[in-house]
Amino acid sequence: MKCANCGTELKDGTLFCPVCKSEIQWVPEYHTLETILLQKQMREKNLKEKKQKKEEELRQKKRQEEIRKKKRRKYQIFGGSIAALILLAGVAGFAIKRKEYNSFDMQMAQAESEVTNKNYESALSYLERALELQPDSTSAKILQAKIYTVNGEEEKALPILSSVIEKEQDNVSAYGELLRLYEKQKDYDSIKSLLDECDNEKVKSRYEDYVCEVPVISLNGGTYEKEQRIDFTAMKYGTKVYYTLDGSEPDKTNGTRYDSDYGIVLSEEGEYTLKYIAYNAKGIPSENKEEVYKIEFKAPDAPKITPDSGQYEKATKIRIAVPSGCTAYYAFDDTVTTESTRYTGPVEMPEGEHIFSAILVNKNGKISLTASETYVFYQ
């Protein structure tokens, strides 16, 4: 049999459709007492199940509401804890900030960090506070001066560094910053004065690159009888020397640059006032130095003529000993000059009585005294 309401196949004896819950009329025309009682029981059972279901749904809602309330209480407690923690953190942060503000080391660390990041204005503010905490701190002053130099405010940096050096003459860092400042300004006189007045060998050794030593000259001033060559030695790598020979002050523009391949050659007679100056690899000059030379070329000795004066019965060759670098001139019975006959080899002795005269002229044009021999030759 099928349910008249939904068409579900039913088993025998089924009173209500298991799908749509409709009552099944097995006996359409009449109801037995048993059937009526059974139907009543089924209705009561259905009502009871519905009631239980509603009660269960109410219990579920109540449990869910209690869970929500517990969560709200938990969140309220957690929120309060967070707020308390935030408050405590704020108090702690304020305490830390206050401690940092009153800590010289922390202010210096912040300043150095800002310098690294090229935030110079911020770094200066930290340094100002650091110097409020420790007014005599040389490290803070040096860093402050360094920032001023980088910013092009050398006029602020210079007195700071000078005061540090005056107080601590062994402060290598302060010397370094001041030397770099002078170098930036091309104030080489101040560089020289600063290092000349420094008695600390550690500082001088550390910054020896800022010192330009005068090179050693190979020839001292004086009077010389022949051409002279002058050289400079003991020059550090990168050093350049400029000189003048007329007594004027030498520099890179008014001076001749020394070349070790050629030296300085004094090839003519006269007086030379040699002034010279060196520049090291940084362009820092040395002291000016001066030497005076006088070149007076010596005339050669009178030439040696052979044979000696005398009477000769046969033709004899006349010879002149000519030293290296000299030229000989000769004449018979006349004054010999550089316009006379140039000697190129032995000369035939002429017949008769004659005076043979000769001179020597060296490469500097100096003329010797005249040498003479008298020959009498008759065949």
| Containing structural domain, residue 243 | 216-295
My answer on whether 312 and 286 are in the same domain is no
pLDDT for the residue numbered 98: 65
Phi, then psi, of 45 in degrees rounded to 5: -65, -45
My answer on whether 169 and 267 are in the same domain is no
Q: Which of 295, 329, 362 is the last residue of a domain?
A: 295
Residue 319 in 3-state DSSP?
Answer: strand
My answer on whether 122 and 141 are in the same domain is yes
My answer on whether 285 and 308 are in the same domain is no
The CATH number covering residue 315 comes to: 2.60.40.10
pLDDT for the residue numbered 50: 79
My answer on whether 255 and 329 are in the same domain is no
In a domain, 155, yes or no: yes
Residue 304 in 3-state DSSP?
Answer: strand
My answer on whether 249 and 263 are in the same domain is yes
Alpha helices in the chain (DSSP H): 33-101, 104-116, 120-133, 138-150, 154-167, 172-185, 188-196, 201-206
| Percentages of the chain per state (helix, strand, coil), in multiples of 5 | 40, 20, 35
pLDDT for the residue numbered 34: 62
pLDDT for the residue numbered 27: 47
In a domain, 187, yes or no: yes
Kindly give, in sequence order, each residue whose CB lies less than 8 Å from that of residue 48, ignoring residues fewer than 6 positions away: none
In a domain, 21, yes or no: no
pLDDT for the residue numbered 83: 61
My answer on whether 201 and 110 are in the same domain is yes
Q: In Å, what is the CA distance from 25 to each residue of 2, 22, 37, 233? A: 11, 9, 14, 138
Closest CA to 165 of 156, 177, 154: 177
What is 6-27 written as a DSSP string? T--B--TT--B-TTT-PBP-SS
Amino acid making up residue 102: N
What distance separates the 2 farthest-apart alpha carbons in the chain? 206
The CATH number covering residue 253 comes to: 2.60.40
> In the chain, pLDDT over 90 holds for what percent of residues?
64
> What are the strands of the beta sheet with 326-332, ordered from one edge?
310-312, 371-377, 352-362, 326-332, 341-342
What token pair was written down for 84?
A: 């308390």
In a domain, 67, yes or no: no
In a domain, 73, yes or no: no
pLDDT digits (tens), the chain, 379 positions: 677 777 777 776 666 677 777 776 654 444 456 656 766 777 777 788 878 888 888 888 888 888 888 777 776 766 666 665 666 656 555 555 666 788 999 999 999 999 999 999 999 999 999 999 999 999 999 999 999 999 999 999 999 999 999 999 899 999 999 999 999 999 998 998 999 899 999 999 999 999 998 999 999 999 999 999 999 998 888 999 999 999 999 999 999 999 999 999 999 999 999 999 999 999 899 999 999 999 999 999 999 999 999 999 998 999 999 999 999 999 999 999 999 999 999 999 999 999 999 999 998 899 999 999 999 998 7
| Exposure string over 4-18, b if 16+ CB within 10 A, otherwise e | eeeeeebeeeeebbe
Q: Which of 253, 272, 295 is the last residue of a domain?
A: 295
What token pair was written down for 19?
A: 């799908």
Q: Which of 194, 210, 226 is the last residue of a domain?
A: 210
My answer on whether 126 and 201 are in the same domain is yes
In a domain, 87, yes or no: no
The CATH number covering residue 176 comes to: 1.25.40.10
Tell me if the bond preceding 215 is cis, omega within 30° of 0: no
**Domains held by the chain: number:** 3
Residue 264 in 3-state DSSP?
Answer: strand
pLDDT for the residue numbered 48: 81
My answer on whether 180 and 135 are in the same domain is yes
In a domain, 230, yes or no: yes
My answer on whether 201 and 271 are in the same domain is no
My answer on whether 310 and 285 are in the same domain is no
In a domain, 41, yes or no: no
My answer on whether 342 and 318 are in the same domain is yes
